[in-house]
């Protein structure tokens, strides 16, 4: 399954991306990464929604963003990614904090991690 890119910004000092994908365990993973050009340092923050909570995310996305639930496909993951792709195309969720707040406001459990390379 492809990666959905919400943000891909390049400045003279850093590259910033926000994307969503599925990991090997079927979890929905949002990756907010920054690569700093001065020292090559990379900082990634990950927000992971466990596989058993993805169907709830699909339902909530459909309710929150009128009409997104009309999108049909064969699998739940395909449907989730079509919805996320439409959200990315419409300019929603420019930062991981926005995704985190949206999930917290709807009581969707997740795990958040920060990794510095």
Q: What pTM did the predictor assign?
A: 0.88
Each of the 117 residues of the chain gets a pLDDT tens digit; together they read 689 999 999 999 999 999 999 999 999 999 999 999 888 889 999 999 999 999 999 889 888 777 555 555 568 888 898 889 989 998 889 999 999 999 999 999 999 999 988
Which of 81, 100, 106 has the alpha carbon at shortest distance from 22? 81
Distance CA 72, CA 104 (A): 27
């Amino acid at each position: 399954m492809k990666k959905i890119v919400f943000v891909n910004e390049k400045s003279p000092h850093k590259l910033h991306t926000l994307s969503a994908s599925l990991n090997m365990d079927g979890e929905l993973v949002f990756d907010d990464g920054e690569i700093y050009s001065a020292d090559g340092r990379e900082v990634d923050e990950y927000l992971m929604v466990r596989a058993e909570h993805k169907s709830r995310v699909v339902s909530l996305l459909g309710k929150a963003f009128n009409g997104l639930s009309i999108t049909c496909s064969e699998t739940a993951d395909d449907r989730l990614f079509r919805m996320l792709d439409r959200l990315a195309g419409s300019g929603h969720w420019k930062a991981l904090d926005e995704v985190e707040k949206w999930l917290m406001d709807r009581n969707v459990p997740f795990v958040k991690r920060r990794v510095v390379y």
